[in-house]
Amino acid sequence: MQDNAPLTIGVDHVGLAVKNLESARRFFCECLGWKLVGENQSYPASFVSDGNGIVTLWQVEDSEKCVPFDRRRNVGLHHLALKVVDREALDALHARVAAWPGIAPDVAQGLIEATHQVCPYSRATHGNIALETKLV
């Protein structure tokens, strides 16, 4: 008989290659409220955590030659979904991210709309639960 129990207990960390390490670190730490838990200047890399998980941010070698990820053509991490404790926390997070420098209002609104189109939870509850989203 084969034991199908998982051999792991969860995800320890996720690594993201970023175009601008300082900007990415500031977004996670200043905007999202995460903590810098380590750095490695030889990569260079920063390790950030919300106390539950760790994201490793790696600076790409040549930021002028890097290309944006296209989920339809590239193999790799598609998205990173973060948990919040309740709707109030979600609203606060959205307001903070929407106001972050470099996030255009139309992009923030587009993220809201796209999330509801692709999120399996949003699709599953569509028409069953009244939900209103707006960019503030």
d(Cα 85, Cα 62) in Å, to the nearest integer?
38
Q: 79 lies in a domain?
A: no
Q: Residue 11: which domain range?
A: 1-62
**Does the predicted TM-score (pTM) go above 0.85?**
no
The model's pLDDT over 94-111, given as tens digits with 9 standing for 90+, comes to 788 878 887 766 666 665
DSSP line for 58-101:
EE-S-TTT-----TTT--S--------SSHHHHHHHHHHHHHST
Q: What is the reported pLDDT for 14?
A: 92
Give the other-Cβ count within 10 Å of 109's Cβ.
14
Q: What is the reported pLDDT for 5?
A: 85
Q: What is the reported pLDDT for 121?
A: 60
The model's pLDDT over 18-46, given as tens digits with 9 standing for 90+, comes to 889 999 999 999 999 999 999 999 989 99
Domain count, the chain: 2
Contact by Cβ (8 Å): 15, 30: no
* Together in a domain, 103 and 47: no
* Together in a domain, 55 and 2: yes
DSSP-derived 3-state class of residue 27:
helix
